[in-house]
Structure 1
Amino acid sequence: MNKILITGGAGFIGSHLCDELIGKGYSVRVLDSLIAQVHGAGAERPAYLHPDVELVVGDVRDKAAVLRALKGVDAVYHFAARVGVGQSMYEVNEYTDVNNRGTAVLLEALIESPVKRLIVASSMSIYGEGLYVSDNGNIVEDASRPLKQLKASDWELYNDGQPLKPIATPESKKPSLASVYALSKYDQEVMSLICGKAYNIPTVALRFFNVYGTRQALSNPYTGVLAIFASRYLNNKAPLIFEDGEQKRDFVSVKDVAKACLLALEVEEAAYEVFNIGSGNSYTVNEIASKLSKTMGVEVEQNVTGEYRVGDIRHCFGDISKAKRILGFEPEVNFEDGLKELAEWLEEQVAVDNVDQAKEELAARGLTV
């Protein structure tokens, strides 16, 4: 395999993958629509995109554009997607059209122009709540929080009245789809695996946890939480933290994610498998807000809202033992070093803070409690 296509490859994760692939001697083409919410109005080729990347500006829903982009390609990374839980709950048609139908268009094109490997970007959001264990040692896969409990600001999860303890979530946990975004990512994953098996296209699904690093779209209020917090800090505003801020997540460097993506291409045993891609660690949202402010040298108090957003979950962090065992994946960037690199990049960035507007849009639709 030599020529690689990345749909959505001009974005955050895709552009880092371009660097990784080109550094390993691959030839890379990118198909990207350069949407305004990510790249700004009237966007042109991003300055950070590797100069050796062949950029094709086009929409993954346009089959003719996809077929042109596939010409001469040996493998495909499918990253093109609308991203964000909150926005997906009111832009239902847009998220379904880009994520679900866009994947269907790509798969039909691959039937006509098959490749040697397809790697699809999935998401930890498909798990809904992560895995929990009760006091008596029973594993609980289907934990949930009733609305009455959330309105009482009781944030944790219970089983028979006893509090549950979150534990690392493996790929074997059954999905619990709590948002339109989660549904669309699961649809992308399953459609790709079904068609891959049917047409003998070795397919790999990577369930990314909370990816952070340079090149995230700081003015997009529905992107990763660290980018949203960074945007607030750059504008001397407190980050908005929902619930009590003690919800736990797995934060993984985009550089480690790019390495995992390369392994998914090159490791033969990865075919038709699903992998969690995370750091194997967990932090509370309060912790990461505090660590980021200190690293950036910003003294702004956190704004813990005590509100709940429809589609949000309490705890979810990844069990990455399968990726270690089969892919040979080992995260190398510790959180403090990753934050330092992010902070250095942020010193030269300007962010338009759209967080308050996004919060108002959710509240106006009854999507916050």
Structure 2
Amino acid sequence: MSKNILVTGGAGFIGSHLCDELLRSGYNVRVLDNLSPQVHGSDSKRFPNGNRPSPPDYLNKDAEFIYGDVRNKEVLEGALRGIDAVFHLAAIVGVGQSMYEIESYMSVNNLGTAVLLEALIKKPVEKIVVASSMSIYGEGLYKTTEGKLKVGAMRSLEQLKKGVWELYDSRRGSILRPVPTPESKTPSLSSVYALSKFDQERLCLMIGRAYNIPTVALRFFNVFGTRQSLSNPYTGVLAIFASRYLNNNPPVIFEDGNQMRDFVSVYDVARACRLALEVQKAQGRVFNIGSGHAYKIREVADKMAQVLSKENLEPVIRGKYRVGDIRHCFADISLARSVLGYKPAVSLEEGLVELSGWLSGQIAQDQVDSANSELEKRGLTI
């Protein structure tokens, strides 16, 4: 079994929890992270000792930390010395921002993956596990009123301008019903971020196959939990809501708040990552990692308000569409259950209670309004 593990992006939200999971299971862990200011804050926080970079306090002290960028060949080759397996989590995350910071997203996500894979061709490892995303699906899977699967359903610009949010069966004029989305659904890339994540998983699987390096891709759905950046307005929706509530501002919701997503605990995601490493028959495959449950965004905002005692802050329903957004998508996790033995253990409700305890000791810089203004200025909201 692989014992020495490199986690790129390991000082981040998901990566740090993965480090804990691996260390608990007896692995030796090395982290490579550039401590991006969008995630980790200002230089004074990232470099409290002058020029010497310091990882966040929450990063497990038993993990070896290397400060560096995955695009830097020299640093990367050093990080790979003595490594048996790699978790590739290093990436910029954000649907809206990706539509105008195109170079950054393609550089970090695509070029970073290419540099890593070239290094692994020279020095193969026993396994690669790459973090992909549910965003590659675009819209989730739908059925007609007759129960027939509807593939490739999309919303027109015309209907979005009118505030008609649901997807319709063009033949019958009836609303399509969202159903769990399996890995077999054809990708429909609706943002630069989605394209970059699809490229990451395809590159890893392709090179893994060509050079006989066992590779697994995990498509994460909406991951939530402690340590998620609260000052990054492009991060997960629950962290964005939390940032608003902590600053006594109401959460801002696009469309009508009835769009559905799958929220999965970061603890379950970390366990899924370890299983992908350990299960032999997972190699060469792609797995959805979610909770298997669908929640309306407005419903989730209300649940968070309740645990934070912020019920007085009613969500602002904008009635606008953000370019790159989709209506409904939630996971079919049956493949991960059957192959990996993956079983989500933390419900949204349980996770929110723990999250509220962590949030009580946090300070968040609310940048949601400025981020939304940037999208509007660029014509990326309708």
TM score, norm. by length of structure 2: 0.96
Aligned residue number for residue 98 of structure 1: 108
| Distance (Å, rounded) in 2 between the aligned partners of 1:219 and 1:295 | 20
Question: What are the superposed Cα offsets for residues 76-130 of structure 1, whole Å, 9 maximum, x if unpaired?
Answer: 0000000000000000000000000100000000001110000000000000000
Is structure 2 residue 60 aligned with structure 1 residue 59? Answer: no
1:137 positional shift: 1.6
Question: 1:327 is aligned with what amino acid?
Answer: L
Aligned residue number for residue 263 of structure 2: 251
Aligned-partner SS, 1:211: strand
| Distance (Å, rounded) in 2 between the aligned partners of 1:61 and 1:140 | 40
Q: Which runs of 5+ in 2 are unaligned?
A: 47-53
Aligned residue number for residue 77 of structure 1: 87
Aligned residue number for residue 289 of structure 1: 301
Question: 1:2 is aligned with what amino acid?
Answer: K
After the TM superposition, which parts of structure 1 deviate over 2 Å for at least 4 consecutive aligned residues? none
Aligned residue number for residue 375 of structure 2: 362
Question: What are the superposed Cα offsets for residues 47-87 of structure 1, whole Å, 9 maximum, x if unpaired?
Answer: 00000010100001111111100000000000000000000
Aligned residue number for residue 23 of structure 1: 24
Question: 2:22 is aligned with what amino acid?
Answer: L
Question: 2:39 is aligned with what amino acid?
Answer: V
Q: How many residues align?
A: 369
Aligned-partner SS, 1:76: strand
| Distance (Å, rounded) in 2 between the aligned partners of 1:265 and 1:67 | 21
| Distance (Å, rounded) in 2 between the aligned partners of 1:103 and 1:187 | 9
Question: What are the superposed Cα offsets for residues 313-348 of structure 1, whole Å, 9 maximum, x if unpaired?
Answer: 000000000000000000000111100000000000
2:346 is aligned, of 333, 344, 351, to: 333
1:287 positional shift: 0.4
Question: 1:287 is aligned with what amino acid?
Answer: E
Query: After alignment, is 293-302 or 307-316 more displaced?
Result: 293-302
Is structure 2 residue 364 aligned with structure 1 residue 351? Answer: yes
Is structure 2 residue 189 aligned with structure 1 residue 180? Answer: no
Aligned residue number for residue 50 of structure 2: none
2:210 is aligned, of 198, 213, 218, to: 198
Question: 2:175 is aligned with what amino acid?
Answer: P
Query: After alignment, is 100-109 or 156-165 more displaced?
Result: 156-165
| Distance (Å, rounded) in 2 between the aligned partners of 1:215 and 1:141 | 37
RMSD (Å), alpha carbons: 0.5
Is structure 2 residue 282 aligned with structure 1 residue 270? Answer: yes
| Distance (Å, rounded) in 2 between the aligned partners of 1:261 and 1:113 | 22
5 Å-filtered alignment, 1:4-15, equals 4-15=5-16
Aligned residue number for residue 254 of structure 2: 242
| Distance (Å, rounded) in 2 between the aligned partners of 1:224 and 1:30 | 22
Is structure 2 residue 61 aligned with structure 1 residue 48? Answer: no
Question: 1:173 is aligned with what amino acid?
Answer: K
Q: Which runs of 5+ in 1 are unaligned?
A: none
Question: 1:312 is aligned with what amino acid?
Answer: D
| Distance (Å, rounded) in 2 between the aligned partners of 1:134 and 1:52 | 52
5 Å-filtered alignment, 1:220-235, equals 220-235=232-247
Question: What are the superposed Cα offsets for residues 165-191 of structure 1, whole Å, 9 maximum, x if unpaired?
Answer: 000000000000000000000000000
Question: What are the superposed Cα offsets for residues 240-261 of structure 1, whole Å, 9 maximum, x if unpaired?
Answer: 1000000000000000000000
Aligned-partner SS, 1:163: coil
Question: What are the superposed Cα offsets for residues 243-280 of structure 1, whole Å, 9 maximum, x if unpaired?
Answer: 00000000000000000000000000100010000001
Is structure 2 residue 323 aligned with structure 1 residue 303? Answer: no
| Distance (Å, rounded) in 1 between the aligned partners of 2:290 and 2:57 | 27
1:9 positional shift: 0.4
Aligned-partner SS, 1:158: coil
Aligned residue number for residue 134 of structure 1: 144
| Distance (Å, rounded) in 1 between the aligned partners of 2:116 and 2:128 | 11
Question: 1:132 is aligned with what amino acid?
Answer: Y
| Distance (Å, rounded) in 1 between the aligned partners of 2:74 and 2:217 | 25
TM score, norm. by length of structure 1: 1.00
Question: What are the superposed Cα offsets for residues 275-300 of structure 1, whole Å, 9 maximum, x if unpaired?
Answer: 00000101000000000000111121
| Distance (Å, rounded) in 1 between the aligned partners of 2:34 and 2:151 | 38
2:330 is aligned, of 311, 317, 321, to: 317
| Distance (Å, rounded) in 2 between the aligned partners of 1:248 and 1:345 | 26
**Identity level (%):** 63
Question: What are the superposed Cα offsets for residues 149-172 of structure 1, whole Å, 9 maximum, x if unpaired?
Answer: 001000000112221000000000
